[in-house]
C-alpha cells in the first residue's frame, strides 16, 4: 500500500519554531546552503505536538547517554524546497550514469523526453525522497511539519558515526544495513542507529524504512506503518 493513499484528518496544530538549547542544529542548514527556495522562511519548525514529542526523545537520549544530543539536519520543508531537492537528486543520479540533464526543466520534462531514463532514476530517487506533490491529499512528509531528519551528537559535541551521511541514496542508508556485521566498528554503528531509533520510538516516532535518519509522527507514512486509519497532519499551514 502506498502511504499517500492514507486519508488525512487534519488536526490543525500550528507549525512552531524549534527552540535552541535542547537540540544541536546542522549549521548552515544544508538545503538553504544549496540555494533551496525557502523564501526567507525558517526550516527549523515542526508541528506543536511533534516538537513536544521530539523534546521527549531528547530527554530519553539524555537518560541513556548523558551529555548526548539530537542533532537536527532538517525539519519542515516547503513543497517548493522538496521539488528543488528532488530535481537536484535526479541530476546527481544522472551524473552517476555518466549523463547530464542540462536543458531539461525537471522530472516531468525528463519523463516526456526520455521515459526509460526517467524511470531508471526515479526508482532510486523515490526510494528515499517523497514526491513533491501540491495535492493536499498527498503532501511530502516533511511538508507536513511532522517529519524530522536527525542524527546523534556525543557529549564532546562531535557528530556520531552512523555509517553513511544523511541523504545518501544507497543501501548503506537502510536502517539495518550493518546489523549482524562481523566487524566490531560496524556493529557499533548499528548500535548507534538503534539508540537513535529507540529514543525516537519511545516518544512515538516512526522510522522511515529506507533511511536511518528520518522519523515522523502522525503523517501518512507513520500512520501506514503504525496501522492507523488516518493521518492527523497534512501539509502544514504556514502563517
Q: What is the grid cell recorded at 97?
A: 550514469
Cα angle 23, 173, 234 (rounded to 5 degrees) comes to 60
Q: How far apart are CA 152 and CA 72, in angstroms?
A: 8
Active site residue 211: yes
Q: How far apart are CA 6 and CA 229, in angstroms?
A: 7
Cβ-contact 223, 230 below 8 angstroms: yes
Residue from 13, 89, 153, 211 carrying the catalytic annotation: 211
Please give the positions annotated as active site: 211
Amino acid at each position: 500500500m502506498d502511504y499517500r493513499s492514507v486519508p488525512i484528518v487534519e488536526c490543525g496544530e500550528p507549525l512552531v519554531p524549534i527552540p535552541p538549547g535542547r537540540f544541536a542544529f546542522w549549521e548552515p542548514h544544508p538545503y538553504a546552503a544549496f540555494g533551496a527556495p525557502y523564501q526567507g522562511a525558517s526550516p527549523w519548525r515542526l508541528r506543536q505536538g511533534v516538537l513536544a514529542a521530539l523534546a521527549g526523545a531528547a530527554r530519553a537520549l539524555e537518560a541513556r547517554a548523558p551529555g548526548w544530543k539530537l542533532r537536527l539536519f532538517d525539519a519542515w520543508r516547503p513543497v517548493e524546497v522538496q521539488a528543488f531537492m528532488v530535481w537536484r537528486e535526479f541530476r546527481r543520479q544522472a551524473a552517476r550514469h555518466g549523463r547530464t540533464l542540462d536543458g531539461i526543466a525537471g522530472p516531468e520534462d525528463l519523463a516526456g523526453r526520455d521515459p526509460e531514463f526517467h524511470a531508471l532514476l526515479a526508482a532510486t530517487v523515490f526510494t528515499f525522497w517523497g514526491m513533491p506533490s501540491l495535492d493536499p491529499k498527498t503532501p511530502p512528509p516533511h511538508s507536513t511539519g511532522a517529519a524530522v531528519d536527525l542524527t546523534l551528537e556525543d557529549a564532546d559535541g562531535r557528530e556520531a558515526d552512523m555509517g553513511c551521511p544523511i541523504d545518501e541514496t544507497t543501501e548503506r542508508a537502510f536502517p539495518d544495513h550493518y546489523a549482524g556485521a562481523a566487524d566490531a566498528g560496524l556493529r557499533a554503528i548499528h548500535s548507534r542507529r538503534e539508540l537513535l531509533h529507540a529514543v525516537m520510538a519511545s516518544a512515538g516516532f516512526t522510522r522511515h524504512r529506507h533511511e536511518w535518519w528520518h522519523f515522523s509522527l502522525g503523517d501518512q507514512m507513520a500512520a501506514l506503518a503504525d496501522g492507523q486509519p488516518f493521518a492527523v497532519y497534512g501539509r502544514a499551514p504556514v502563517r
